[in-house]
Amino acid sequence: ALERIAGDVFVHSRYCVDQRFSREKWRAYYQFWIRKSCEGRADVVLVAERDDQVVGFITIVRGKNGTQAKIELVGVAAAAQNAGVGRILLLTALQWCVEAEISYITIVTQGSNVVLQRVLQKSGFLTRSCRLYYHKWFTDAQVIRG
């Protein structure tokens, strides 16, 4: 169920908007990531259920020093979006951090993911930095001339 959600929800990802990554390729990337998170990459994977259906998840990875962590993945199934599931997952993750004696947590998201940004801001997160990343794919026929 988590892989299905992961394959559908990351439409703001840089991989999704990059024309060199097919839908199948970026879906497989996030499905692999959530699978590995459940297999131990993440310190905790919290899962939201509604009416006996899995509708979302959030993953937390503790930093090497033990007092910091990062949220790596947040996914809410389309049918459960705009129902507060993401906020509940986030608040539950923050409670886990308090209990685990985490003093600082970060999360990175895409600029186009306004919904998550709003949830983060309402939950007390502050913007630490904004970055723009650019890339260009070259074909074999292209030559750079100075």
pLDDT tens sequence across 40-49: 999 999 999 9
Percent of the chain with pLDDT over 90: 73
Q: What is the pLDDT of residue 133?
A: 80
Q: Which residues touch 121 (CB under 8 Å, ≥6 apart)?
A: none
Count of positions (residues) in the chain: 146
Q: What is the pLDDT of residue 15?
A: 85
pLDDT tens sequence across 85-109: 999 999 999 999 999 999 999 999 9
Residue 122 has, within 13 A of its CA and on its CB side, a CA count of 12
